Structure 1
Amino acid sequence: MKVLDIFSLYLEYQKEYSRSDYPKLSVDNLIYVHDVDFFFQFDSSKLYENQYELHVNMEAFTLNDTYLKSILYHEFTHIYDSLMFKNKQIEEYKNIMSYYSEIHSSYIEMKSRIKEISNSIYVQDEKIAIPMDMHIQQKYLNIKKEWSNYIEYNPETITDKIKWLCYFVGHYKYLKDNYDIPEFEIVSPYSEEIYNIINDYSNEVYDLQEHFDKIIQKSKRHKDSQNFEKLQSIFDEDAINQNALLKLFINKE
């Protein structure tokens, strides 16, 4: 894929997901970046202001075309959603774009990553196509390792991982809606909120902030309790040291 192919894909996207008010994109809308952790990205706040600047990491063009198309479709869906919710007040708009739109964009992204090869379903990854069952298993392993680790053992880090939860929900929902995959199960302090996010997205609830706020509040409470326990252990250690020092003086006398 070449840079100019972005615009032909954008036109393809508009045919698949029809609206009458898509903005035009040209090379003037591209901003080249490096040393970033993404391949393509729109800023949702700027979309609200009709500024359609697509940040492009040129390293993306070393990847396969199907995967790149899926990432671009993810970003184009942010345009779609920004147009859909532009009548909202800015704070409500930001909340919708931060949560619902990330899930929606990931849903559309996964749809673009599906490949049928010899009557078998594959999911295109950055370099290779992976059988759907294997892809799902890998996703589950990631959830067990990553989510279990930082949800159950380091919940205070969850605010840094919210976007990854949105990605997973979108990918999972598309595969669950269209293919026979096992039920997603996770045991964590946040399982209720995660299930509510999945269910509400399924029912086209756009304002999902409440569930994410509960996750963040729980993580903060956990962090506060950890800090209290740490402080208490310091006090206990000081008390032990003071008692030892007192015994030392008593023994000297």
Structure 2
Amino acid sequence: MSIGQVLARLRPDFPDISISKLRFLEAEGLVEPERAASGYRKFSATDLERLRYILTAQRDHYLPLRVIREHLEAMERGLEPPAAAGGPPRVPDSVQAEQAAAEETPAEVDGGRAGTPDLRLSADELAANSGLSRARLDELLSFKIVQMLPGTEYFDVDALVVATTVARLAEYGLEPRHVRVFKSAADREVGLIEQVLNPLARQKDPGSDTRAADVAVELEALSLRLHAALVRRGLRNDC
């Protein structure tokens, strides 16, 4: 879209919008349209939605550009803006629904979570969205039960699942130091699965990477099913 087309789409909701306003927001780094070979701006549908969010936040909530920039940065990491001023960015409802489904049928859920691959949370955001205190989260970090994504200062959706689950376990008196037994068991299971995957990964024929990935998903699902069944049986025998 050209800048004129963007103005035409925004004006019904924002009558005061102008070219100078759009250029100002671009100069502030809040929107970054592509440039055609001729030098003209080319706005995408994503750019248009960002502009709608910026203008709505200014008009309806009187948010300064500094806060809007923080919200946009969080949205780029898969989060939603805070529900209240000054609050932390929120994990989308869709991610929370996936976690709820995983709690209901843990043995059937694989580790892909394809719908939320780009979710990235800071330590404060992870603590706020999982229900853990920062002190408890720091304990999990010290035990390497949760870890940041390599080369970043962010956590992914798996870290959120772990932290949320640990917060639930804490309601029954289990502290992060107790959770180390789960980490040790998982590490042993990973080592066993890697013994199967390594020969596949070393194959050079076309399609070997795809086969290895498919086998990894299958083995993960089988290990989860086996683990859940063994825990259920053990608890049933002890009761």
Instruction: Please report the TM-score for the alignment, with normalisation by the length of structure 1.
Output: 0.29
Q: Which has the higher contact order (CA 8 A, sep 6+)?
A: 1
Bigger helix fraction: 1
Instruction: Please report the TM-score for the alignment, with normalisation by the length of structure 2.
Output: 0.30
